[in-house]
Amino acid sequence: MALLPFRDINVQTASDSYIFSSPSSPNAPALSIDRPTGDIRLSDASLLAGKRVSRVTSIAGILGMIRLRLDKYIIVITKALPVGRLRGHMVYKIISTDLLPLRERQVHDPDEDRFLALLRGFIKPGPMYFSYSVDITNSFQRQAQQDAASPLWKRADDRFFWNRFIQSDLIDFRTQGGRGQPAPQPNIDPYILPVIFGMLEIHPTTFKGTPLTIGVITRRSRHRAGTRYFTRGLDNEGHAANYNETEQILILNDAAAGQGGFAGSAGQGWQRDTKGEGKDMQIMSYVQTRGSVPAYWAEVNMLKYTPKLQIRSIESALPAAAAHFDEQIRLYGDNYLVNLVNQKGREMPVKQAYEQMVERLVSNPTEHIQADQRTDEKFHTIETGGGQPRSSFDRLHYIYFDFHAETKGLQMHRAQLLIDRMREALVAQQYFRAVDMPGSRIDGRLEVRSLQTSVVRTNCMDCLDRTNVVQSMLARWTLDRMFIDLGLLARGARFADEDPAFELLFRNMWADNADVVSKSYSGTGAMKTDLTRLGKRTKAGAMQDGNVAVTRYCKNNFLDGPRQDAFDLFLGVYQPPAGGIGSGFIFADRRPVWIQSVPYIAAFGVFFTFVAMCTPRLPGATVWPLRLFTFFWAAVAAWSLHFILSNGMLYVNWPKLNPRPWATEGYHETISRVRKDKLLGPLVARHERGLSTARYVNAEEGKKRIE
């Protein structure tokens, strides 16, 4: 049986090392990380018992290690909150962490301090989850096909092993050894803890008096992760932006569905469900995916509410799309590609790019377009022309549904038309079902009864709001089917009509999922959650969507640059170069001073205009000086605001660690246009600054790696 991660770890801080050991496993080797070199080794814990240490702390696990410009840091989990049990295994949410520097005397540097701030700001709110005894990076169907004798981190799905990069030092030591210990080191396995990023809710509840556990897990891919407008489409390896796998789980006769302190233990606060003891545990799960439209495309922020859309040629993106769908078919089987973008307006080119991509991948593609009174293209499907499949890509089934046109006027119930259209495919798709026999719970093996043979991959422009609605409807349809198969519902009945309390739980769980996925990508909660929570579109919900839209605009233009930098830093897309103190100034604003000053001039203009308008005129005083003062500052404010909006590329908060090529091009075009401005042009320096060549050379010095 494989060694599971330690549930309790003590950290001893000494001047020359950090020593990690498990009090509950006194015979296990202690992990020593030398200071300041970062060399890793395993030692006999008893030999280190007399070592002089300055501090001893207890932690929940090691998140990983990361090197910045001046130092390397160990990121430890200091507090974890139990959120529920799956098959008796406790799952935890990371609440707080700490960064342990390897240098005993820290040296402060502006860039180093900024890197640390990015990491802390990224880790603290990030919804990250882990378990000591069950692999939550994999769906139940993939878990059933695994070797339970492998260490937990080796079983982890590489896509959803969120801390894989910062665990690289420990994993490299495990596979290759280190200084003085050159052979593989399997005894380090209990110190390697895989973590997922996303959403996880587990609810022990009842349906019509039958005890059960229902849960939703959304796993966000670590590949091409980032923020809304800075990560779109595919990368060269075929990884899609905002790619998430969502699994809805239903468990009956889970005798250990309560909460407790440690996985697998009957700790304080754990309520054991004795009703399920001795019965076969029924496990059912249904998996869906979402991901950005598989093409090379981007939306360029320019402070306009609607960003500029850029789409590269289909031929250039074809190898990446082929790699993407090759992986999806290998993992999930047939892929039903549900596309929800608009067929008209600015989203139309994205729709066309997707369809052209599928037509090139599928052999002998056959299209079918269905229209009605509302729209000329209600459904648009692309599949292989029949006969024996010639390639694996013939397992792609493209389904376009004009979501906005069909649900216009708060008629969200019309989205059910998509489910009706896919009914035959959903019936054939099935879902995963397995039985955990009482005698088999020792080795954790499942007796599989049915497998999910395909997956629905849903997308809209952001893979957020419209996607959330459709995924919750697919989950609802499948859950009805599960209850019917279990004998808890009559054929043709719906759980929403049978148990209002369970219906409310289901709605809130999927609305929470929508908010979490949306916040991690766009910075705000999701739109249209009134439909998910209440089952109908409301005016209050529409007003809330307006508030979300404004907040997204502000965050995506002025706050997402540092957020994207934090993603790139944590996931290893950008690795800081080693350097001297103050030698980098990676985060310095190198735009010309006059460009930087325009927002401040606009603020002064608005302020003085407001003061002039509110200043009472003294008796007998002439009017024209005050009016002249008001008109002057109003003109200054108006010109400044017009300049900012006309040259928005200069005022978007761009990522600085891994600059986007289209941002570089846009900056150069905008700064060239500014030089022709009659007022500011002569004041702008002729040499390139801002997102300049020098800045990009500096950024390129950092090692970039996408694993």
**Count of C-beta atoms within a 10 Å radius of residue 17:** 22
Buried b (16+ CB within 10 A) or exposed e, 296-330: bbbbbbbbeeebebbbeebeebbebbbbbbeebbe
Q: By the 8 A CB rule, do 219 and 164 touch?
A: no
Q: How wide is the angle at C-alpha 194 spanned by C-alphas 191 and 196, nearest 5°?
A: 155
Which residue has 């200084």 as its token pair? 179
Mean local confidence (pLDDT), 484-498: 95
Q: Please give the residue that has the higher pLDDT: either 699 or 366.
A: 366
pLDDT (tens digit, 9 = 90+) per residue, 421-435? 999 999 999 999 999
For residues 649 and 106, give the distance between their C-alpha atoms in angstroms, rounded to a whole number. Answer: 38
What stretches of 393-491 adopt beta strand conformation (E)?
396-401, 432-436, 447-450, 454-459
Region 667-680 average pLDDT = 84
Calculate mean pLDDT across residues 318-333: 97
> How confident is residue 685, by pLDDT bands cut at 50, 70 and 90?
low
**Cα 354 to Cα 427: distance, rounded to the nearest angstrom:** 26
Q: Are 648 and 302 in contact (CB under 8 A)?
A: yes
Concatenate the DSSP letters of all residues of 680-696 into one string. TGGGS-SS--SS-HHHH
Check pLDDT > 60 for residue 567. yes
- On the question of pLDDT at 258 being above 80, the answer is no
CA atoms of 206 and 500, how far apart (whole Å): 11
Nearest residue to 455 via CA among 248, 707, 198: 248
Tell me what pLDDT residue 583 has.
Answer: 54
Kindly report the backbone phi and psi dihedral angles of residue 152, in degrees, each rounded to the nearest multiple of 5, phi listed first.
-60, -40
SS3 of residue 500 by DSSP: helix
* Residue 430: its H or E element: none
C-beta separation of 574 from 668 below 8 A = no
Report d(CA 346, CA 53) in Å as an integer.
Answer: 63
Query: What is the per-residue pLDDT across 572-604, written as a single tens digit (0 to 9) for each?
Result: 999 998 765 555 678 888 888 888 999 999 999
Residues 6+ apart with CB under 8 A from 121: 562, 566
Confidence at residue 539, expressed as pLDDT on a 0 to 100 scale? 80
Separation CA 493–CA 495 (nearest Å): 7
pLDDT for 116 equals 95
The pLDDT score that the predictor gives to residue 274 is: 47
Q: What is the percent of the chain where pLDDT is above 70?
A: 90
User: What CA–CA distances, in Å, run from 384 to 363, 364, 394, 526?
Assistant: 6, 5, 6, 35
What DSSP assignment string belongs to 528-562? Answer: SHHHHHHSS--HHHHHHHHHHHHHHHHHHHHTHHH
Rounded to whole angstroms, how far apart are CA atoms 455 and 329?
9
pLDDT in tens, 270-291: 344 445 556 789 999 999 999 9
- pLDDT average, residue stretch 108-135: 93
Please state, in angstroms and rounded to a whole number, the distance separating the CA atoms of residues 292 and 495: 32
Q: What confidence score (pLDDT) does residue 277 get?
A: 57
Three-state DSSP state, 509 = helix
Structure tokens at 605: 């203009």
Q: Do residues 358 and 365 touch, judged by C-beta distance below 8 A?
A: yes
Q: What is the mean pLDDT of the chain?
A: 88
27-41, 47-61, 227-241, 458-472: which has the minimum mean pLDDT? 47-61
Q: How confident is the model at residue 182 (pLDDT cuts 50, 70, 90)?
A: confident
Among 622, 269, 220, 288, residue whose Cα is nearest residue 452: 288
Q: Which residues contact 547 (CB under 8 A, 6 or more apart)?
A: none
In terms of average pLDDT, the best of 317-321, 412-416, 681-685 is 317-321
H or E element, residue 310: strand 308-311
CA pair distance 335, 395, nearest whole angstrom:
6
Task: Tell me what pLDDT residue 531 has.
Answer: 72
* Cα 667 to Cα 693: distance, rounded to the nearest angstrom: 11
Which residues neighbour 705 within 8 Å (Cβ) at sequence distance 6 or greater? 165, 572, 573, 575
Q: What is the phi/psi pair of residue 80, to 5°?
A: -135, 140
pLDDT tens digits, 369-399: 998 877 888 999 999 987 676 789 999 999 9
Instruction: Kindly list the distances between the CA atom of residue 322 and the CA atoms of 64, 310, 314, 341, 366, in Å, as whole numbers in the listed order.
Output: 33, 21, 12, 21, 19
> What is the total residue count of the chain?
707
Query: What would the two tokens of residue 58 be?
Result: 């207890």
Question: pLDDT class for 21, splitting at 50, 70, 90?
Answer: very high
The Cβ of residue 614 has, within 10 Å, a number of other Cβ atoms equal to: 7
pLDDT at 682: 80
Mean local confidence (pLDDT), 562-568 = 96
**Span 493-509, mean pLDDT?**
95
Sign of CA dihedral 485, 486, 491, 492: negative
pLDDT value, residue 154: 96
| Alpha helices by DSSP H, 438-581 | 465-486, 495-498, 500-522, 529-534, 539-558, 560-571
Per-residue model confidence (pLDDT) at position 141: 97
Residue 270 burial by Cβ neighbours in a 10 Å radius (0-12, 13-18, 19+): middle
Q: Of 689, 692, 699, which is closest to residue 657 (Cα–Cα)?
A: 699
Reference 144, options 1, 334, 285; nearest CA is: 285
